Structure 1
């Protein structure tokens, strides 16, 4: 069964807030945007706002969905294990507070710690942080340890009609 989740990149000037996942959690030791599983009957945007607050203590405003990411494990290509709705938050209220989910840190957008992030992030994060709407498909082996294939499609802005 496919798990639906969110990530939300909180922007400040030329920086983005990332969370280094605590030991014992999915993604432990990796930097990632705050986010988590979508609850039953919850909208992705509502989940993104909720997860950001739970993991950082920050209230985000003006979120925009920037991407839809499909993650497959162990080479299967029929049903994704995860579908992740990626958001940008252009406004936030509050000061980040480390919690049980992990440690928070602001990074310059042009100096992201890709060597300590999920392997797929190097292919789509910069595009998303620049405001490019996208959809991505990522195929992993070894319990999401090794990226073996990927595809990214850039999408038109929501107000642009495709012909």
Structure 2
């Protein structure tokens, strides 16, 4: 188990023992939080879906450093600071690895977004999210996210990566474990 994982603090024992991969997800917000920059995934896992920016956390970096790096790689924006908003666990049928995703926002960034090999960025009004072109879990936790709440969620997907068969989502006071 990766020592940066928070699973030992918030997951049931049966899931703690499964292999975990750490990921980040970061959403640039246009102050005063009326718009969010999403990226249309052009290849790989989640292709043709809108999402925040993110990916795997490298062994030598902290989780927040991973979020900052991924934002730059996928949009060319450079976050000066990030705010951790949630932790999501994803379990996919017939996949032994749990995805542990740390969710961030940023309102302090510099540069201009650019399309990259992986993502095509686009601004959306926070009330006009393209949920029909996003992961099915996004519309469940998005209301907490945009209201500035902290949250922990668990989502069990069928192998089709579309159908959610079980979910747990809770607002939390702190993400310090």
Three-state SS of the structure 2 residue aligned to 1:100 is coil
Cα displacement string for residues 122-163 of structure 1 (whole angstroms, at most 9, x for unaligned residues):
10022112211000000000242211111111011579xxxx
TM-score (norm 2): 0.83
Q: 1:21 maps to what in 2?
A: 41
State the distance in 2 between where 1:91 and 1:37 align: 22
Residues 16-68 of structure 1, C-alpha deviation per residue, up to 9 Å, x if partnerless? Answer: 0000000x311000000000100113211000000000111101122111000
Which portions of structure 1, spanning 4 or more consecutive aligned residues, are displaced by more than 4 angstroms? none
Deviation at 1:80, TM superposition (A): 5.6
Question: CA-atom RMSD, angstroms?
Answer: 1.8
Contact 2:25 2:101 in 1 (8 A): yes
Shift of 1:90: 1.5
Q: Equivalent residue for 2:167?
A: 150
Matching residue of 2:156: 139
* Cα contact 1:16–1:107 (8 A) shared by 2: yes
Matching residue of 1:105? 122
Query: Which secondary structure state, in structure 2, belongs to the residue aligned with residue 35 of structure 1?
Result: coil
Q: TM-score, normalised by structure 1?
A: 0.89
Instruction: Decide whether aligned partners of structure 1 residues 158 and 39 sit closer, same or farther in structure 2, where only a CA change above 3 A counts.
Output: closer
Determine which structure has the larger strand proportion and give its number: 1
* Paired residues of 2:25 and 2:52 also in contact (CA < 8 A): yes
Q: Aligned to 1:43, which of 34, 49, 62? A: 62
Aligned-partner Cα distance in 2 for 1:35–1:3? 13
Unaligned 5+ segments in structure 2 are 1-18
Equivalent residue runs for 1:1-163 within 5 Å: 1-13=19-31, 14-22=34-42, 24-74=43-93, 81-157=98-174
